[in-house]
Every structure is written in structure tokens, then in C-alpha cells.
Amino acid sequence: MGHTNAKLVIHAVFSTKGREPIADDALRARLFAYVGGITREEGATAIRINGPADHAHLLIQYPAKLNVADLMRVIKTNSSRWMKEEGAPGFAWQTGYSAFSVSHDRIDTIIGYIDNQEEHHKKQSFQDELRWFLRLHGIEPQEDYLWD
């Protein structure tokens, strides 16, 4: 086969450091728009970005030439720097992230899930949500390393 064919989609989740809430909804909306711009600059497509005050969900399609670790590092580093420039000097994302592959037939379901974050988190904490996602994808949560 002479050409590379790939449709790589991930659902990435990461928290603010210590799950500190982002100041307000307007700033969070601007932050997520900025993250979309970073994603485009890296050659990927942000299908959906949303989250409550203490964490973010990203649904991203990325080309085969990118790897997830580099993409997450650039997104988190640049968006954290932007937040500090926007007047949130103590802002930081947690050190790690979680990323899960998404099959083509599940994209709409994940979009709906990401869009419904505010309502979802009235019933379930971020910690319980992340534990559920990890187990759903066959990863046993290692509590000592999840919550920085």
C-alpha cells in the first residue's frame, strides 16, 4: 500500500492541578477555544472540547504523524501559559492525562457526553468519572498516581 490511511480519534481527559476550579465560565470558554487553536496549529482537529470548572474533555482527530504524548504536552503547556497571561497566575493542569481511542461509530456518543458535562457532574465526581473510564478501557486505576 503506497499511501497511509488513518483516522485516529482520542477522547482525552485531564484535570486542573489539585482540581482547582477555573475562575469563571467566560474564561473557561475562551480557554477551550484557545485549546482548539493549539490543536489546529499542531495539525489535528478538535472535534469537541468542554468540561466543568475543574477538568477538560477533548475529542481530537489527529494525523498519523503526531503522537498523543507530544500533542497533549503542547496543548497543556501552551494553554497553561495562556491562562497565566490572562490573569490566572497560579493556573496549572495536572501532570498527567488520560486518553482513550474512539471508534468512528462512537464519535457522536462521545460528543454528546462531552457536551453534557455540567449536567453529568451534578451526579458524579470527576474522580469517579475517571475511575469509570479507566476501568471501561481495561486500565486498573492507580490511585497514588491519579490525583496530583
CATH number at residue 61: 3.30.70.1290
| Mean pLDDT computed over 81-87 | 94
Classify residue 109 as exposed, middle or buried by CB count within 10 Å of its CB (0-12, 13-18, 19+).
Answer: exposed
User: Would you say residue 2 lies in a domain?
Assistant: no
Residue 20 φ/ψ, nearest 5 degrees: -70, 135
User: Would you say residue 99 lies in a domain?
Assistant: yes
Classify residue 104 as exposed, middle or buried by CB count within 10 Å of its CB (0-12, 13-18, 19+).
Answer: exposed
Per-residue pLDDT at 145:
64
pLDDT in tens, 103-113: 999 999 999 99
pLDDT in tens, 13-56: 999 998 898 868 899 999 999 999 999 999 999 999 999 999 99
Residues spanned by the domain of 23: 8-138
pLDDT in tens, 63-74: 999 999 999 999
45, 52 in Cβ contact below 8 A? no
User: Would you say residue 143 lies in a domain?
Assistant: no
CA 77 from centre of chain: 13
The alpha carbon torsion through 133, 108, 54, 44 (nearest 10 deg) reads: 100
Residue 9: strand pairing partners = 61
Q: How confident is the model at residue 147 (pLDDT cuts 50, 70, 90)?
A: low
- Average pLDDT of the residues of the chain: 91
Q: How many domains does the chain have?
A: 1
User: Would you say residue 51 lies in a domain?
Assistant: yes
Q: pTM above 0.85?
A: yes
